Structure 1
Amino acid sequence: MTRRVAILIEGDFFEKEIFYYEQRFAEAGVEAHFVSRLWGQESLTFLGHEYRAPLNCTRSFEGWSDEDLASYDALIVPSGMVADRLRYTDDVAGIPPASALLERAFALPLLKGIICHGLWLAAPVRHVVAARRMTCHNNLLGDAAAYGVDYVDEDVVVDGDLISARTGGHAYLLASAILAAIDERNPR
């Protein structure tokens, strides 16, 4: 059985984090798929924040069924501005598609990884993180309180199927915790 993770991506991503995931998951024999809204395009190239490094994305989560989503071992919401950009919606009365995807992920047994400012994606669906033990970037302490998060002042926090890390610089801790949880659930 192929082990794989879906990593949300958008412009202004933190390059060191994203490139770490590419290498670390491959090293562990886990496929890392970068997914986003492609707005009807076959692919989009997103640029990183610091170095403007390009990342070409060819996988859209738009139209994914619950079975498609459940075919992944984990869904990761990375740091940087990715979550903020993915919160965009044309329908201001509705839930942004990426937040709806996150909400659906919380209804499934797959692992959820949220790091740093990735917590922003939960703003429209706060109930999915309410009363959950999490960490986040210090700049988001007020957001975490507003969402009802049980904030833990640690660099990485595991709360069942939810794994969170404080900053993009802690990507190695998030990836290690996710890989350990995948191994526990699906031994080779």
Structure 2
Amino acid sequence: MEKILTGKKVAVLVETEYIPAEIKFYQEFFAKYGAKVDLMTYLWGKNERVIVSDVDNETKLLEKMTIKKEIAQANPNEYAIVLCAANYVACRLREIPPMGSLGDVSLIRSPSAVRFMASAMMNPNIVKGALCHALWLLTPTPELLKNRKVICHTVVLADVLNAGAIYIPDESHVVIDKDLVTARSASDLEIYGKAIIDTYINLNK
């Protein structure tokens, strides 16, 4: 396998209720192409933070993961690929600071993860990936989703349509729109990963 990502970095935005198999997939998949994978979240002023996984049923065990990279201190332009993990990660990353506040409409775009993803969207040389619920992270900046072709989980479909995106119910469960790769759910990781690599190659021809 050609290591086309040697010397490149992949950013994966994560939070509590992540899917362990998804994170493991990113770490192993992109490493095969030579990339360094950075997992990042909100550290809330600490040097590191432990987040916990989703548990779908009683047969699955809760997993924990220590994250040491703060989103607010990261620059999306240092990454070849920027991804937001699936499940309710994007929901938690959209929380308007300070944590626990009643919120302020004028601050909808203020969360660090929202600003990070918005900055990445404005750089056409970065491959952006949004899986399952992850487009929630772009809905606070709807102009970045307007007229973009996407696929997503039906849970977030109304929000995505209201942001002006064009929903494509492709049977492959993956949609590529220039530098933006979207997929329906974590069940589509293999084809999603391949689409991200293919998009990176096409952007760097």
TM-score, normalised by the number of residues in structure 1: 0.91
Q: Distance in 2 between matches of 1:4 and 1:180?
A: 16
Deviation at 1:123, TM superposition (A): 2.0
C-alpha RMSD over aligned residues: 1.6
1:98 is matched with 113
Between the aligned partners of 2:157 and 2:88, the Cα distance in structure 1 is 17
The match for 1:59 is 69
Residue type of the partner of 1:75? Answer: V
Whole-angstrom distance in 2 between the partners of 1:71 and 1:7: 13
Cα offsets for 1:130-156 (capped at 9, x unmatched)? 110000012222122111111000200
The AA in structure 1 aligned to 2:129 is G
* Structure-2 residue corresponding to 1:2: 7
* TM-score normalized with structure 2 length: 0.84
In the other structure, the counterpart of 1:12 is 17
| AA of the residue aligned to 1:174 | Y
C-alpha distance after superposition, 1:8-31 (max 9, x if no partner): 010000122111111111122221
CA contact (8 A) 1:117 1:137 kept: yes
Residue in structure 1 matching 2:126, options 102, 106, 110: 110
Confirm whether residue 179 of structure 1 aligns to residue 197 of structure 2.
yes
Kindly indicate whether structure 1 or structure 2 has the higher relative contact order, using CA contacts under 8 Å at least 6 residues apart.
Answer: 1
Q: Tell me if the contact between 1:17 and 1:169 (Cα under 8 Å) persists in the aligned partners.
A: no
User: Per the alignment, in what secondary structure is the counterpart of residue 55 of structure 1?
Assistant: strand
Q: Please list the CA deviations of residues 74-115 of structure 1 after superposition, one character each: whole Å capped at 9, or x if unmatched.
A: 110111110000001126221222111111111112111001
Distance 2:113 2:94 in 1: 7
Match of 1:131 in 2: 147
- Structure 2 residue 176 is matched with structure 1 residue 158: yes
Quote the Cα distance in structure 1 between the aligned partners of 2:81 and 2:32: 16
Deviation at 1:61, TM superposition (A): 1.8
SS of structure 1 residue aligned to 2:141: helix
Q: Report which of the two has the higher share of helix.
A: 1
Gaps of 5+ in 1: none
Partner of 2:3: none
Write the distance in 2 (CA, Å) between the matches of 1:58 and 1:72.
Answer: 17
How many corresponding residue pairs? 184
1:150-177 CA-partner distances (Å, limit 9, x unpaired): 1000200110010000011112222111
Residue segments in structure 2 that go unaligned for 5+ positions in a row: 1-5, 56-60, 98-102
State the match for 1:23 in structure 2. 28
Question: Which 4+ residue blocks in structure 1 deviate beyond 6 angstroms?
Answer: none
Contact 2:149 2:177 in 1 (8 A): yes
What is the Cα deviation at residue 184 of structure 1? 3.7
- Residue identity matched to 1:145: L
